[in-house]
Structure 1
Amino acid sequence: MSAEPEAPGDVMVIGGDERRMHVRAYNYWASLLRGRDFPSIEDLDSRDVQDFSDHSLLLDFTASPDNPTTSFIGSAIRAECEIGDEVRSIADVPPRSLLSRLTDHYMQIIANRAPIGFEAEFTNQRGHDICYRGILMPFSSDGEGIDFIYGVINWKDGVGMPAPAQPTVADEAEEILDLVDPLAESEDEGQEVEDAPVALEADAGLADRLSAARETVEVLKAADGRSRAALYRALSLAYDFAVAARRVPQDYAELLEDAGVKAQARAPMTPIVKLVFGVDYDKARLTEFAAALAYAERRDIPFEGFLAFIEQHPGGLKGLVAAERDARRPEPRTDNRADQARTRLRSALAQPLSTLAGNDEFTLVLVRRDAQGRVEPVSAVTDLTLLEKALRKLA
């Protein structure tokens, strides 16, 4: 992505559509997960983020984890902060600018390994009171580490605004903060509602168990997702439903068919949570719920044992999700390709630089120092990605 710096504009008025750009940004990020811990940076397409790209920032950690480069700064941010192309890394960000409000939070992403949302007020470099809201989302180039962060920020300049002002960024703080930390919202003990457990007979049928679980989900929805007791109760009933479904596979198959949900051999808990919470429920939440149930099954938790298991597990729901993801992660394979390459290059014939350079403007050349201390070119590195990283490192 690229953008030309613009001159500072008029005072910005945030409308309802703009105030929700963070929600759209988070939903876009979540749509790229596809079962992974982080979306691939290669999937971040500038065409998909046009409605909030002017308010966005892309940080690149590949050259320096301590001072990431600002690969992209949206034109609206540049205009508000009165900056041009001189800002190329975190170290160049003006300390009293709106951009610093966004970049100050990037270490939280590295620590939490998950998106974070934030909102506050501050006085900018022009002495204006600014109310802002931001979201930062991690991306990865290798599927494991976080080496890119995409951020979106929106704000309102309070200069000249009468009281009461139009709705500010803070008016919808719960909306984005809940979205970027959906597990935390479910475990907010200060938002509990009355949760009367649904009574079930010991020999209740599969359909009755599904109905009871769905009733508890309705309690959860009535609390706007903020009742931990209702959530844990719904997950407990979902787990019991899964255990019971294995005993009567034909009945379970009929329930799936009636709901238009497909069985998944590789992710058997996914159709369970779709039946219980609904196919239209937030997909990121469904993925987390399925992971929690899968981990309970992995640990051979018995029928009616899930509630005690999740309440006693460190971190509750978040802890179960993390444990299941760790359990799924394959053991790292020993990669000795670098040693094999060193062995070959020790005996390779030295090459003239003119031969290795080729016809491109820049070429990355590997040299070897022999036993006498002489430096000899031995190979050209043709991977353009490595060349780009080397160039960024030099910059």
Structure 2
Amino acid sequence: MDSLRSNYLSNPSSGNPYEDEDDIPGDFPVIVAQGERRLQVRAYCHWSDLQGGLSMPLIGDLKLDQLPDIAPHAVLMDFSHSVDDPRIVYVGEKLARECGITRDIHHLDDIPHDSMLARVTGQYGQVVANQSPIGFEDEFVNQRSATILYRGMLLPFSDKANGPIRFGLGVVNWKEAADQALSDQIAREMGAAFENGLLGGIELPADPTPAVDPSRRAAIVSALGALHFDEVPDEMAQAMSLADWLASARELAQAARFSADRSRQALYAAIGRAYDFALAAKHSPDELAKLVHDAGIKSQPRAPLLPLVKLVFGLDYDKTRLTEYASALAHAQRTGLGRGELAAYLAEVPGGLKGVVGQERRLRHAHGAKDKGKSEPLARQLRQLNHRALHDLPTEGAEFTVLVARRLPDGTIALLGEVDEDPALLSRAAQHLIQ
């Protein structure tokens, strides 16, 4: 592992942490730091290439010194000695500089609590629990009192073929929010762009959830039709209802059907917009249920994204293709892609759509096989446990805990016990509740 150590301490004060000026866009109130927005896509693609037919890649195959675009933004954690206190064996130079680290760090306690690195390593419980890649994004105020927006991935590695997770590679990129003066200036410029018709002549209402207006939706669809691989500007996204997202996705799906030129690009754009529709649907479940019902589509608990894909591409669309598109959306959710990112992801990942669908099926099969083999013997043992009353639990202990219950044949909920002091399990259970 010593060969993986970053040389970020060699000159900790040199250079501008926001030196990649080519990455600074002119139309959003943020300053983009090192690396471009697809950093986590490249990291995931490399992880997938190393994986081969294994459940996860081998740590011995990871050569960070051969990944000059990824390594500066990376942190490598070693769980082989302790899952509760993983060792830090590598921190990339740019990540260390952003965090203001000027000394070697070896454990989580060594990491500054108000740093980007703390946000990345704080996700490790999820990758340990899932045994598969996880994506994440959020914002926080760093040690310089600057608001940082970040997006990253954690990728699991083992030290033997099909063995348990022993290492976690975190890769992250970030943006620093502009100060209020710059935000106000850019907001004025964005407003002028809308007024001058640069985005299809759309007038954005003050109400972020307006009633559906056919003429306004036509303008939105017209503007979105030219965006394809680009992210929808936040100002426009806030003005769109779920029906607007569906209309724009259907427009691209229709274009993909009849596109003789660059058909793959058109298809990826349509699938990407379908994913944006799925993200919007999370915040409007009742509206989605009505759209599905009105279209005569049956909900499918085992394939919850399939009805959304049918809404976009149509009930008469090839069923095999619809299933593939739903798998692509599921994979985007699994890897934490954001709005406007799936189309470019499909274009960049090895194998394109087929590669993503194959990877998602392998991951789903691996989890399914593992769960199926364990579920019945485990159920038999749980049925033998004595029931407990809730008031039998101790009143002292951790603020959050995991309780295990059994639903009896008569509908009674019986408490079996408490599982505490397991942060990985708590993290995984919490994610189910939060999502």
Q: TM-score, normalised by structure 2?
A: 0.45
Q: Which has the higher contact order (CA 8 A, sep 6+)?
A: 2
Q: TM-score, normalised by structure 1?
A: 0.49
Higher radius of gyration, 1 or 2: 1
